A and B are shown apart, each in its own frame.
Chain A
Amino acid sequence: MIETKKFTSLFRLALRRLLFLVCLGLCGALVSATLVRFAPGYGVEERELDPRWSASSVEALRRQQALHQGLPSFYFHYLSALAHGDLGESDSLKRPVRELLRQRLPVTGNSVLRGLGLAWLAASFLALLGLASRGWLFEASATAFNSLLLSLPSAVVAMLAVHLRTPVFCAIAVVVFPRLYSYIRNLLLRAYDQPYVLAARARGLASRVILCRHVLPLAAPPLLALLGVSFAISFGAAIPIEALCDSPGLGQLAWHAALGRDLPLIVNVTLVVSLVMLAANFFADLAGRTFAGSAP
């Protein structure tokens, strides 16, 4: 009885929070719209510099730009169109934003998920190896390697990925892996040093049993929280990396939209990115707090 009550209250809490998140995402989108609208260079086209245009054509071009001028009316139209599922049309690419997002989001999602998976695999493997060996040489070299990866600017990682012709998700994995490794390692070390785990080891239980039955359940909640945060990190890192590697994903779209002052595109891309990051951090928080009682 108490369990179901707890579950339903949790569910309602989650729902309320999600609604809050969506509103927050929309706020973020509108803030970026304001930024773009009042940024210098809005409403100006590179085409104006072409000397072949006649004076009347340039006038017509400028009149077209002026249509976007009213910010409150833009908010109103954007939100009402959003309610119908219409995300507007990109100014610079002349295609519906929904179609653009539908093409680019899977590419980014693919790189992010694969990069994240690779980073988690590598980090967990290395952390477990460290636990198994516990020698100072391994620890020193692992720490050095980790620091090295953490010290590379992500722009340099992206350049390396381009030159070595590795796919984008490898670059994302390289950026995320060091942050994961140190945290996972500390977590596992602390879990292994718990008194009852020590007792289990003293009693001579197999290390596999210790790992599965005692350590992992202890470390699971903060690891879940870490999952959410690492997703947000890799999504955030994916955007500049994709822009540099010229991969046809969300990052390149965002960069192009910022440079071209493409208002509808920036608003929608910000909406998507903020929703993803907010959701990821929210689930991380939820996982952390739900199991707060059982955390070390």
Chain B
Amino acid sequence: MKPLQKVAASILCAIFVLMVLATFFLPAHYARQFRDIPNAGPSTAHLLGTDALGRDSLSRLLYGTRVSLLLAPAAALLSTLIASLLGSAAGLLGGWFERIVLAATDLSLALPWLFLLLVVRALLPLDVPPLVSVVIAFLMMGLLGWQASVRVICAAARGVRDSDFLLLARSSGCKPARLLLRHVAPNLRPLFYAQFLISIPLFILTEANLSILGLGVMEPMPSWGNLMRGLEDFSLLSANPWRLVPLVLLVIVVMCFQLVLPSQEVTQ
């Protein structure tokens, strides 16, 4: 591994460990409002200051890190599963099925997915606990985010289908199920892992985008995107630079993910 990759990997591990340990040492509950000190600066009691309602920013950041870093891989897993199934089926079967899958992929990118998210939020029953609604939000992202990986997996599956060893296996009378399990899957599995790892930073960014628009994780539960809604006020940032910490953390984590992973094809 190149030295840069080693540095990135160690940063990621450190953040992960910090996040796990921190849940036992949260300075204050993330929703508790200290109403005498809204918008306060850093102090001994509140290391990163407080937000507009007087909630401790450090606690919210740690809890939000937990939300984003644990749920983004879940969403990535779901989307990679869907993409793998669709992509490999398309690549292996070929012909019109492949064309339809690829066309459906392009089409679903054009659909108003923001609208879909709005609709899902509106359809949820009202007495759903906040944690469940957060999980559902990430699952929705997973269900809607599979398009990025499908093309890559489809191309790889096509390559496997046209390969010599598969031809040999088929001509020796191998049954389709065994063919899939013994020959195709092991060849495609590294690609699935790679796509899964690549999707994680993408979903972290997607969640941030959605929460800034107000469609992601609902208050009072914090997440990185939620915490960045306060960035709209740029003039205050020069006076309160500690407000940038969530953005800086997000950028560092996503950068580390990208440096650790192998470079990939252009994905959307």
Residues of A whose CB lies within 8 Å of any CB of B are 20-21, 24-25, 27-28, 31-32, 35-36, 39-41, 140, 143-144, 147-148, 150-156, 159, 163, 179-180, 182-183, 186, 226, 229-230, 232-233, 236, 240, 244, 254-255, 258-259, 266, 269-270, 273-274, 276-278, 281, 285
Contacts and interface: CB of A to CB of B under 8 A. Distances in A.
27 contacts: A28-B107, A28-B111, A36-B115, A147-B258, A147-B259, A148-B251, A150-B254, A151-B205, A151-B258, A152-B251, A156-B208, A179-B266, A179-B267, A183-B265, A183-B266, A229-B268, A236-B268, A244-B213, A258-B112, A258-B118, A266-B112, A266-B115, A269-B112, A277-B109, A278-B107, A281-B102, A285-B102
Contacts of A21: 103
B249 to A, nearest CB: 11
B78 to A, nearest CB: 21
A9 B26 CA distance: 68
B110 interface: yes
A279 to B, nearest CB: 9
A24 B104 CA distance: 8
A40 B119 contact: yes
Given A40-B122, A151-B250, A155-B209, A274 B111 contact: yes
Interface string B97-130: 0010011001101111011101100110000000
A27 B251 CA distance: 38
A240 B107 CA distance: 17
Contacts of A240: 114, 209, 213
A143 B109 contact: no
A242 B87 CA distance: 32
A236 B107 contact: no
B255 interface: yes
Interface residues of B, number: 41
B232 interface: yes
Contacts of A144: 255
A156 B118 contact: no
Contacts of B118: 39, 258-259
A24 B103 contact: yes
B69 to A, nearest CB: 14
Interface of B: 4, 99, 102-103, 106-107, 109-112, 114-116, 118-119, 122-123, 201, 205, 208-209, 212-213, 225, 228, 231-232, 234, 247, 250-252, 254-255, 258-259, 263, 265-268
Contacts of B225: 153
B250 A147 contact: no
Contacts of A281: 102, 106
A276 B109 CA distance: 11
Nearest to A27: B107
Contacts of B213: 155, 240, 244
Contacts of A156: 208, 212, 228, 231, 247
A144 B225 CA distance: 23
Nearest to A146: B258
B14 to A, nearest CB: 17
A152 B250 CA distance: 8
B109 A159 contact: no
Contacts of A229: 266, 268
Contact of B250 (A153, A180, A278): A153
Given A147-B254, A266-B112, A278-B103, 17 more contacts: A24-B107, A35-B111, A35-B116, A39-B122, A144-B255, A147-B259, A151-B205, A151-B254, A156-B231, A156-B247, A230-B266, A232-B109, A240-B209, A258-B114, A274-B106, A274-B111, A277-B107
Nearest to A273: B110
B120 to A, nearest CB: 10
Contacts of A182: 263
A281 B266 CA distance: 13
Contact of B106 (A244, A254, A266, A277): A277
A154 B212 CA distance: 10
